[in-house]
């Protein structure tokens, strides 16, 4: 039995295989429509979500399986004081696989100690979000056709943005990647990501506060929302939330084939007028996420 807590729980070969399966699903959806018949996915979401929860549920339904679960801690017995471990142990009697989101870093890992079914981390605090990374990787594959030799800019809340941490981790396993971190000082990429991942692999990186100066060299611009829910101080959030707003004038010197990504939800950090730009890939990420979650569910259920 395999759990996916962090993107490195999947080897490069397994990611390649998930991408190949997702591409095949895109070509021939009917082939997969009964593959998880009589299997159940439980979505245990202790924190709000639109994309991750609904795409997991859509993925399982499109594989012919069923879905149970809850969408907030308040609608589960955790509101009565039940532990995550007991919740997961109990749900293992009802479901074949669990996707779990929790505001506390490490909660899905703690759940694996008692779980009799595979656990997928659907986002834990400011830590990891491996299935968003799978969506991101399929998007990069479809847009760029490669994972090597790319200059990738990450912009916004790089401190709390778990999707950034997971994607940096994933990219660290490829060659020729250059990272450009664009953030205010207060929201810089955490030191442990630099020490444990970037510096260990020797990936070149730069840190800057301005988007315009680095725009011409980027192949990918990964915008992020300032994560208000993780701030301790509302005044800081208000001061920083609109620090970067991507508007068409900021793209004047960008590459013609720049890929603009965002895990969503978006607040103000990408102007709506960018949505019409052919370089905007954030809604493609949403679609790709469902296909990668279908491929992952099948892999973890042993081909179902
Ligand atoms: N990208 C993402 O995790 O979105 P949700 O919070 O809506 O699931």
Q: Does 94 or 231 have the greater pLDDT score?
A: 94
Catalytic (active site) residue 53: no
Ligand 1: does its nearest atom lie under 6 Å from the Cβ of 133? no
The side-by-side arrangement of strands in the sheet containing 66-70 is 66-70, 40-45, 97-102, 119-124
Nearest to 10 by CA among 137, 106, 125: 137
| Whether residue 194 is found in the same domain as residue 92 | no
Which residue puts its alpha carbon closest to atom 6 of ligand 1? 49
Tokens of 232: 């301790």
Catalytic annotation, pick one of 3, 39, 40, 51: 51
Specify if 2 maps to a domain. Answer: no
pLDDT of residue 229: 80
Mean pLDDT over the full length of the chain: 96
Nearest to 159 by CA among 142, 176, 175, 181: 181
The side-by-side arrangement of strands in the sheet containing 220-223 is 205-208, 178-182, 151-155, 220-223, 259-261
d(CA 192, CA 27): 40
| Whether residue 105 is found in the same domain as residue 203 | no
| Whether residue 198 is found in the same domain as residue 94 | no
Ligand 1: does its nearest atom lie under 6 Å from the Cβ of 264? yes
| Whether residue 62 is found in the same domain as residue 173 | no
> How buried is 175 (Cβ within 10 angstroms: 0-12 exposed, 13-18 middle, 19+ buried)?
exposed
Q: Percent helix, strand and coil across the chain, each rounded to 5? A: 45, 15, 40
Beta-bridge mates of residue 101: 45
Specify if 100 maps to a domain. Answer: yes
Total count of domains within the chain: 2
| Whether residue 89 is found in the same domain as residue 39 | yes
| Whether residue 45 is found in the same domain as residue 153 | no
Ligand 1: does its nearest atom lie under 6 Å from the Cβ of 71? no
- Give tens-digit pLDDT for 57-94: 999 999 999 999 999 999 999 999 999 999 999 999 99
Distance of CA 89 to the CA centre of its chain: 25
Is the pLDDT confidence value at 304 over 60?
Answer: no
Q: Which domain holds residue 153?
A: 131-282
CATH number at residue 146: 3.40.50.1370
| Whether residue 27 is found in the same domain as residue 152 | no
Is the pLDDT confidence value at 224 over 90?
Answer: yes
pLDDT band at 232 (very low <50, low <70, confident <90, very high): confident
Question: Helices 130-144 and 282-300, interaxial angle, to 10°?
Answer: 120
> How buried is 183 (Cβ within 10 angstroms: 0-12 exposed, 13-18 middle, 19+ buried)?
buried
Catalytic (active site) residue 52: yes
| Whether residue 194 is found in the same domain as residue 240 | yes
d(CA 214, CA 116): 48
Mean pLDDT over residues 220-238, rounded? 87
Is the pLDDT confidence value at 49 over 60?
Answer: yes
């Amino acid at each position: 039995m395999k759990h996916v807590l962090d993107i490195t729980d999947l080897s490069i070969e397994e990611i390649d295989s998930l991408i190949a399966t997702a591409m095949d699903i895109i070509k021939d959806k009917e082939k997969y429509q009964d593959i998880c018949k009589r299997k159940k996915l439980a979505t245990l979401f202790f924190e709000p979500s639109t994309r991750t929860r609904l795409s997991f549920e859509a993925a399982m339904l499109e594989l012919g399986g069923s879905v149970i679960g809850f969408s907030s801690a308040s609608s589960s017995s955790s509101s009565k004081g039940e532990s995550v471990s007991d919740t997961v142990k109990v749900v293992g009697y009802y479901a074949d696989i669990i996707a779990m989101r929790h505001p506390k870093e490490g909660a899905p890992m703690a759940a694996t100690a008692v779980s009799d079914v595979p656990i997928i981390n659907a986002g834990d605090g400011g830590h990891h979000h491996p299935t968003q990374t799978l969506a991101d990787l399929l998007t990069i594959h479809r847009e760029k056709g490669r994972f090597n030799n790319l200059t990738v800019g990450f912009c916004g809340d790089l401190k709390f943005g778990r999707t950034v941490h997971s994607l940096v981790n994933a990219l660290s396993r490829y060659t020729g990647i250059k990272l450009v971190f664009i953030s205010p000082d207060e929201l810089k990429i955490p030191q442990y990501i630099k020490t444990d991942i970037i510096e260990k692999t020797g990936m070149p990186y730069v840190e800057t506060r301005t988007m315009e100066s680095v725009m011409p060299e980027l192949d990918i611009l990964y915008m992020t929302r300032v994560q208000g829910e993780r701030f301790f101080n509302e005044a800081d959030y208000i001061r920083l939330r609109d620090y970067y707003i991507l508007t068409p004038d900021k793209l004047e010197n960008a590459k013609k084939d720049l890929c603009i990504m965002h895990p969503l939800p978006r607040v103000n950090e990408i102007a709506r007028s960018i949505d019409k730009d052919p370089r905007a890939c954030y809604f493609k990420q949403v679609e790709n996420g469902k296909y990668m979650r279908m491929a992952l569910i099948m892999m973890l259920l042993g081909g179902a």
